[in-house]
Amino acid sequence: QKEVEQNSGPLSVPEGAIASLNCTYSDRGSQSFFWYRQYSGKSPELIMSIYSNGDKEDGRFTAQLNKASQYVSLLIRDSQPSDSATYLCAVEGSNYKLTFGKGTLLTVNP
Amino acid sequence: DGGITQSPKYLFRKEGQNVTLSCEQNLNHDAMYWYRQDPGQGLRLIYYSQIVNDFQKGDIAEGYSVSREKKESFPLTVTSAQKNPTAFYLCASRVRQGDTEAFFGQGTRLTVV
């Protein structure tokens, strides 16, 4: 089982719709979870971080964490063409090891 | 300004040569990481370091080596033992204590010619 898995995509949504991105992880001891956005050829930039069960909202973005199910998700409301990018899920496991998933390519169509 | 600097931005290497990628940070971060990214793929962890003079292998350490002699610096050497080194290499750092995110450098694109 891979440490961090994301739905493979690509994911295509119309402008204004909700985009839902999912991630599962294998290390039950993981405590910190992150969503990064990466544009082609650029380095990743942090979108959201979440550390406790439940929802965390920041503008159009909502991160959801369920440690019992080892599941973390990112919802993007009112999707914009500028949201088109690859979204990477990252999980901190034991010994500060920070592992990324393969990413989900999101395309928002005008 | 505080940040993470990777150099060079582009690097070309002949087969059989070792090459060293630089990563310097002035954020006073304890932990530093090296990742490799291939086209259409996520980030794969090569090595990481929590403190000076200590580092751990990541998931794809074979053919790579690192050192952590100073808190600010975490250079990565791609050796001739790495059979397919052409990739985008990313360095990151973060505070070791507490719940904090990792910050990335701008990356080095290595091409074997």
Nearest to B48 among A46, A90, A97 (CB): A97
Q: Do A100 and B35 touch (CB under 8 A)?
A: yes
Please enumerate in sequence order all residues whose Cβ is within 8 A of that of A42, keeping only pairs 6 or more positions apart, or say none: B106, B107
Structure tokens given for B32: 């530093």
Q: Do A88 and B43 touch (CB under 8 A)?
A: yes
Q: Do B56 and A98 touch (CB under 8 A)?
A: no
Q: Which of A2-16, A86-100, B44-58 has the highest mean pLDDT?
A: B44-58
Per-residue model confidence as pLDDT tens digits over B35-52: 999 987 889 999 999 999
| CA separation for the pair A104, A96 (Å, rounded) | 24
Minimal C-alpha gap between A67 and chain B (Å):
16
Q: Which residues of chain B have pLDDT under 50?
A: none
Chain B residues close to A97, C-beta within 8 Å: 45, 48, 56, 58
**Per DSSP, what are the bridge partners of residue B49?**
B32
Residue in B27, B44, B77, B54 with CA at minimum distance from that of residue A98: B44
Name residue, tokens 């993470």. B4
Q: What is the mean pLDDT of chain A?
A: 94
| CA separation for the pair B72, B106 (Å, rounded) | 16
| CA separation for the pair A91, A25 (Å, rounded) | 7
H/E stretch holding B84: none
| CA separation for the pair B108, A63 (Å, rounded) | 30
Chain A residues close to B105, C-beta within 8 Å: 43
In whole angstroms, how far apart are CA A109 and each of A12, A81, A82, A86, B76?
7, 6, 10, 15, 40
Mutate to test the interface with A, among B101, B103, B106 (most CBs of A within 10 A): B101
pLDDT at A95: 79
Q: Do A99 and B107 touch (CB under 8 A)?
A: no
pLDDT at B50: 92
**How many CB pairs below 8 A link A and B?**
53
pLDDT at B1: 62
pLDDT at B98: 67
Minimal C-alpha gap between A81 and chain B (Å):
20
